[in-house]
Amino acid sequence: MATSQVETVSTSADKAKLGAAIALVLASLVGFYLLAKQGQVVQWGALILGLVAAVAVFMLSEPGKQFVAFGRDSWREVRKVVWPARREAIQMTAYVFGFVVIMALFLWFTDKTLEWVFYDLILGWKR
């Protein structure tokens, strides 16, 4: 069981790296729209290059390293999951669909009964 601690960005270097990553994302978006007359290859190239640079700068910061560690821990936990067999998954899906059909019929019957009680018996509005 891993204990996680909430940490904030504390060093000025990490703040600068995060600021640079955000600036690169914004610059790549602005470049994408400003380079529209240059053609789609240049336009998309600038966007992708800027986003890759932003991700690289983010990954060099402490929050980026923590994000990668979180991803590794998550993947390790996913591998521990015992997935149901195909037959079990089909059976559980059939149970869910059956329950949904029964609940739909119950709600339809309840609605029609209340409609009959209120409109026909109490208010006397025959259709």
pLDDT tens-digit map of 63-115: 999 999 999 999 999 999 998 999 999 999 999 999 999 999 999 999 999 99
Q: Are 54 and 24 in contact (CB under 8 A)?
A: yes
Q: Which two tokens stand for residue 63?
A: 């929050």
Domain count, the chain: 2
Mean confidence (pLDDT) of the chain: 90
Answer yes or no: do 63 and 76 share one domain. yes
Instruction: Identify the band that residue 122 occupies on the pLDDT scale cut at 50, 70 and 90.
Output: confident
Nearest-angstrom CA–CA distance, 25 and 19: 10
Instruction: Identify the band that residue 48 occupies on the pLDDT scale cut at 50, 70 and 90.
Output: very high
In this predicted structure, the answer to whether residue 1 has a pLDDT above a threshold of 70 is: no
Asked if residue 117 is part of any domain, the answer here is: yes
Identify the pLDDT of residue 86: 96
- Cα-based distances in Å from 37 to 24, 34, 42: 21, 8, 9
pTM reported for the whole predicted model: 0.56
Residue position matching structure tokens 């037959």: 87
Residue numbers of the domain that contains 100: 84-127
Asked if residue 6 is part of any domain, the answer here is: no
